[in-house]
A and B are shown apart, each in its own frame.
Chain A
């Protein structure tokens, strides 16, 4: 059986994830595609590297799916998250939610991405033209100095 909540090093298919949740009962399918942004706080990203604690990350995505079911019993959801090196505009995460009516689908979809940024063990490393750094928290506001405390692998 195909997983509905998965981590993969292969490119994500927006269509396949939509198909996972499309069904006769649904009047809305909302999809979120998280893509690699070129500029963050004025600094140019060359590529991003995503790493996951693969087995636990998939368990956590499934747990989020159960949370969605508790809050929106009529919702069906599917999530794929990519790992490895991603270029600008590549899809890092694709979330699909279907519900009978659109409002719930929008809300549940946003809920999922917020939870991913809280409880799913996946990390991204920024690679700039002149350095690299693991991103330090889900708010994308702080980074570890020198990429590694005591180590220093930038530049």
Chain B
């Protein structure tokens, strides 16, 4: 993970986040992979809020993973991280 900006107002630093969409998330977002290039993103919750606002998407109840590990809304995300949107799984 890269260091975040150290000047005042680090939340304004633009970072790139990769978002992976699976199952019906692909239908919601129109593809398997999104790239977010935005300021004001520091946690998974920020990513979800950004997606809800930008795509007017209902993504309540889904889990997330950051860099292939299950995450909480409070999990930090930074430059170049990959956030996966994980609907309830149905393997087996």
Contacts and interface: CB of A to CB of B under 8 A. Distances in A.
Interface of A: 34, 50-53, 55-57, 59, 81, 92-93, 113, 116-125, 134-138, 140, 144, 147-151, 153
Interface residues of B, number: 19
B88 interface: yes
Interface of B: 20, 22-24, 27-28, 57-58, 65, 68, 70, 84, 86-92
Contacts of A144: 24
A56 B68 contact: yes
Given A56-B68, A149-B28, A150-B58, A125 B23 contact: yes
Q: Which secondary structure dominates where chain A touches chain B?
A: mixed
Contact of A123 (B20, B22, B57, B65): B22
27 contacts: A53-B22, A53-B68, A56-B68, A57-B91, A59-B68, A81-B91, A93-B91, A93-B92, A118-B89, A119-B70, A122-B91, A122-B92, A123-B90, A124-B91, A134-B23, A134-B87, A134-B90, A137-B90, A138-B92, A144-B24, A147-B24, A147-B27, A149-B24, A149-B28, A150-B28, A150-B57, A151-B24
Contacts of A125: 23
Contacts of B27: 147-148, 151, 153
A51 B22 CA distance: 8
Contacts of A50: 91
Nearest to A52: B91
A121 B24 contact: no
B84 to A, nearest CB: 6
Given A56-B68, A56-B84, A92 B24 contact: no
B91 to A, nearest CB: 3
Contact of A117 (B22, B24, B57, B92): B92
Given A55-B68, A149-B58, A121 B86 contact: yes
